[in-house]
Amino acid sequence: MSRIVTLDEFIIKRQKDFSYATGELTGLLRDIGVASKIVNREVNKAGLVNILGVEGSANTHGEAQQKLDVYANDKFIECLKNSGECAGVASEENEEFIPFPAFESKSGKYVVIMDPLDGSSNIDVNVSVGTIFAIYRRITEEDQPIELSDFLQPGLKQVAAGYVLYGTSTILVYTTGRGVNGFTLDPSIGEFCLSHRDIKIPNRGSYYSVNQGYYLKFDLEMRRYIDYCCDLNLGLRYIGSMVSDIHRILFQGGIFLYPNTRKYPAGKLRLLYECNPMAFIVEQAGGKAINTQIDRILEIEPKELHQRSTIVIGSPDMVDEMIQFVDKYSAVSSH
Ligand code: AHM
CATH number (domain holding residue 299): 3.40.190.80
- Residues linked to residue 132 through DSSP beta bridges, in sequence order: 115, 163
Residue 201 included in any domain: no
Q: What one-letter code names the amino acid at 249?
A: I
Residue type (1 letter), 272: L
Is 1 domain-assigned? no
Cβ–ligand 1 contact at 211 (below 6 Å): yes
Q: What angle do CA 172, 53, 34 make, to 5 degrees?
A: 25
Give the span between the Cα atoms of 169 and 220, in whole angstroms: 39
d(CA 182, CA 173): 4
Q: Looking at the structure, do residues 158 and 237 belong to the same domain, yes or no?
A: no
3-state secondary structure of 93: coil
The predicted pLDDT at position 66 comes to: 56
Q: Is the CB of 264 under 6 A from ligand 1?
A: no
Range of the structural domain that residue 251 is part of? 207-329
User: What are 43-66's pLDDT values in tens digits?
Assistant: 887 766 655 556 666 666 665 555
pLDDT of residue 44: 85
The count of C-alpha atoms lying within 13 angstroms of the C-alpha of 2, restricted to the half-sphere facing its C-beta, is: 5
- Give strand ranges (E) for the chain: 54-58, 64-66, 86-91, 98-99, 110-118, 129-137, 158-166, 170-175, 180-186, 191-196, 207-209, 235-236, 255-258, 269-270, 288-290, 308-309, 311-314
Q: 290 and 154, same structural domain?
A: no
Numbers of helices and strands, H then E, in the chain: 7, 17
Work out which ligand 1 atom sits closest to the CA atom of 129: 9
Ligand 1 atom closest to Cα of 117?
Answer: 4
Domain boundary among the residues 196, 229, 262 is at: 196
67 in the same domain as 38: yes
pLDDT at 17: 66
Q: Please, which residues bridge with residue 183 across strands?
A: 172, 194
Is the beta carbon of 120 within 6 A of some atom in ligand 1?
Answer: yes
CA distance 73 to 70: 5
Cα–Cα separations (whole angstroms), residue 46 to 19, 36, 245: 43, 15, 22
Q: Answer for the pair 93, 69: CB distance below 8 angstroms, yes or no.
A: yes
Q: Could you tell me if 319 and 216 lie in one domain?
A: yes
Does the CB atom of residue 63 touch ligand 1 within 6 A?
yes
Q: Among candidates 131, 130, 134, 57, which has minimal Cα distance to 90?
A: 134
Same domain assignment for residues 192 and 159: yes
Among 196, 221, 249, where does a domain finish?
Answer: 196
Q: What pLDDT score was predicted for residue 335?
A: 53
C-alpha 47 – ligand 1 centre gap (Å): 21
Q: Is residue 334 part of a domain?
A: no
At 51 the pLDDT is 58
Q: Are residues 269 and 172 in the same domain?
A: no
Structure letter (DSSP) for residue 271: I
With a 6 A CB cut-off, is 61 part of the ligand 1 pocket? no
Atom of ligand 1 nearest to the CA of 264: 18
DSSP 143: T
Q: Is 306 in the pocket of ligand 1 (CB under 6 A)?
A: no
Q: What is the pLDDT of residue 100?
A: 93
Whole-number pLDDT of residue 68: 87
Residues near 142 by Cβ (< 8 Å), separated by ≥ 6? Answer: 87, 107, 108, 109
How far is the C-alpha of 112 from the C-alpha of 135, rounded, in Å? 5
Q: Give how many domains the chain has, as a whole number.
A: 2
In this prediction, residue 47 carries a pLDDT of: 66
Residue ranges of the chain with pLDDT lower than 70? 1, 17-22, 47-66, 103-106, 332-335
241 Cβ closer than 6 Å to some ligand 1 atom: yes
Same domain for 187 and 246:
no
pLDDT value of position 25: 85
Distance CA 103, CA 84 (A): 5
d(CA 234, CA 232): 5
Ligand 1 atom nearest to CA at 213: 19
In this predicted structure, what is the pLDDT of residue 2? 75
d(CA 314, CA 234): 14
190 lines ligand 1 (CB under 6 A): no
